[in-house]
Structure 1
Amino acid sequence: MSFPIVRHRRLRRTAAMRSMVRETVLNIEDLIQPVFISYGSGVKNEITSMPGVFQFSLDTLKPEIDEIVSLRIPAVLLFGIPESKDGIGSSGFADNGIVQEATRLIKSWYPDLMVIADTCLCEFTDHGHCGMVHTFERDGHTCGDVMNDESLELLARTAVSQAKAGADIIAPSNMMDGFVQAIRSALDDEGFEHIPIMSYSVKYASAFYGPFRDAADSAPQFGDRKTYQMDPANVREALREAESDVLEGADMLMVKPALAYLDIVRLLRDQFDLPLVTYNVSGEYSMVKAAAMQGWINEKAIVMEMLTGMKRAGSDMIITYFAKDAAGWIKDR
């Protein structure tokens, strides 16, 4: 049968009708709020390229965590800005590292708030890459090769130190080959077999990360990350990356960035049955904020449509800098 017997608009006639037949619903429980923790005291620095997002020192952090908890957001993802950096990112796996100290504080305030620790070295290395680097000079310029296997031990040490501090989930974002296996083995050896790994399985070498580099002070000092992060043109490679992580023991898979890669989100959703995370990254956030500040778009409507689209594509959880705003809008829904 077809028109006029079939009339699709019957199910769109009123708000109540549309709500009854809605296929995808965004919930507060789907949201994860990133938080940037800085060394020092009295720090609450707004990130210029990310309006409304701040770096917090430990002594200014609690009001931010209070607000997140009051909105019923279930989890935070921690990034650290250390006081000092070196070639191996040693402050990333120090027992008194900034992420470790923040984790202890947050868990003492709110034991039930899930703390997810980003497990990478780029914020802690003086060269800004996600692993150990062999540097050399070429035509008067400093160059370097990121050393995969040598970096795995440091990443594993970082994960263990974060788990010891009380992190509920380890989220490795480095894109080294074999990183899930190395971290899983290290966690298990230290008695943390109960701690899940949220793997940045499919992380593209994207231009959408620009504002994050301001937020985390993690821009590479030379070269780029295209030798270890994925080519944005590739689809089948995403399946290979995700399959490797599944075989190595990942408990959750992630696609990063989100908006330009929703086809990849759907692909992984159809191929794997693990919980799937998308990261609504800094560039996506900043574009919306900039357009909203100019009065060109309805920020609330755009954000809710965008996040709903990520969930419709197959995401179970969404890491987003809009988490607090979205949680408030959902409560008012």
Structure 2
Amino acid sequence: MARPLTAEIDLDALRHNYRLACECSPESRCVAVLKADAYGHGAVACARALEGLAPAFAVACIEEAVTLREAGIATPIVLLEGIFSADELHRVDELGLWMAVHSDWQLDALLAHRPARPIPVWLKVDSGMHRLGFPPERAEAAWRRLQAAPDHACDLQLMSHFATADLVEGAYFEAQMARLTALAERLDASLCLANSPATLARPSAHGAWNRPGVMLYGSDPLEAANAASRRLAPVMTLRSAIIAVRELPAGEPVGYGGRWVTPRPSRIGVVAAGYGDGYDRHAVDGTPVLVEGRRTRIAGKVSMDMLTVDLTDLPEADIGSEVVLWGRAATGEVLSVDEVAHHCDTISYTLLTGVLPRVPRRYHGQPR
């Protein structure tokens, strides 16, 4: 019998969330972001589930694009960070990829290359995130160089990334939008701006293309949920089971360092899941879990292969009882990965992408 820990992936929920992104921005096309192995969900399976719905996919690097192409995915793929060396351009050309251009050396390399066909280019502008991109005052010259090289580049888009689109307070978002809108008007350019929070809550950012990412996997990226984000469906359920039960008197320490001490006579359940599987070791006592669809909490530090939960108020729970660490229980009860992340002092992205390969993925819902 196999270890009970699995990451169950609901492809129907993935498609639901993608359709929600499209519903939020009906005048935009939505590229489905599949970087980091589709945020830990399995890029190939997720791409197959979204083929025919999404007009394009996005990944971080050429290695991720190669994985999709080798699996037979023919949908256009955007390299969000572009190339990392000039010699990658022949693979961009060969695989029919689209690419971001965020710096002078990338632009020079592209214009020195002789592609078999023009490469669709998204010119990245640093509108205030201050990671990648041309400053707005230099982006116009880069755009003009691309326009003047139709044998090298085509289907030009202006691209940028928001630093604060998830926040309720919107002053910095509006400052970024003002810079981008002014630049787009000068260039008569199409825009690709909206990430997940902007797709859900910032209609002014909806351009020719949007880039929904974490929302596709059911995580709410907004500081304060809105009507749209409340409709997101969890895609990953990290599910395990109770493998042992301990009956302890009051005053007994549990786990490494004895951080949690039984406040009363207690039943402690041992769960087959730990930081060696990617569950965050920083989870504090009280981090929620579902046992047979009922909420309880972690009691004691997370170990490499196990964690412990308080079963004192769940007398029916026993060896073999279902444990959901995040996602949807068999009863239908949902524990949000965002809530778990809050107790770990992190964000859902780190939990989802951190589930390690030894955790089997089990897919439900057939690809289209």
* TM-score, L = length of structure 1: 0.44
- More helix per residue: 1 or 2? 1
Q: Which has the larger radius of gyration?
A: 2
* TM-score, L = length of structure 2: 0.40
